[in-house]
Amino acid sequence: MAPIPEADPDEVLETKPFKFVTGYDARFPQQNQTKHCWQNYVDYHKCVNAKGEDFRPCRQFYLAFRSLCPKAWTDRWDTQREAGNFPARLG
């Protein structure tokens, strides 16, 4: 594994704002949003499978799960989907 390069203290770091886009969902009123994350991920992929990637309403599910879910979770779920052993029906 390569060593992590040292940061240049004179280099200006560019940061981009991140906007949480989840909206209110009455099905998930509690603070723990794990199920909300999961449901939006599943709904997004169901929507894309049914209507295609260009169907604009699918984007809300995408934005919600990207805001709520840790990247490690979605990476693992993507790997499971590609391998055919995802634990939910998406079609």
- Per-residue pLDDT reduced to its tens digit, 19-74: 666 667 777 777 778 898 999 999 999 999 999 988 999 999 999 999 999 999 99
Which pLDDT does position 31 carry in this prediction?
Answer: 78
Q: pTM, whole model, 2 decimals? A: 0.72
The DSSP result for 2-68, as a single string, is PPPPPPPTTSPPP-----------TT--SS--HHHHHHHHHHHHHHHHHH-TT-TTHHHHHHHHHHH
Domains of the chain: 31-81 (1.10.10.140)
Coil, helix or strand at residue 85: coil
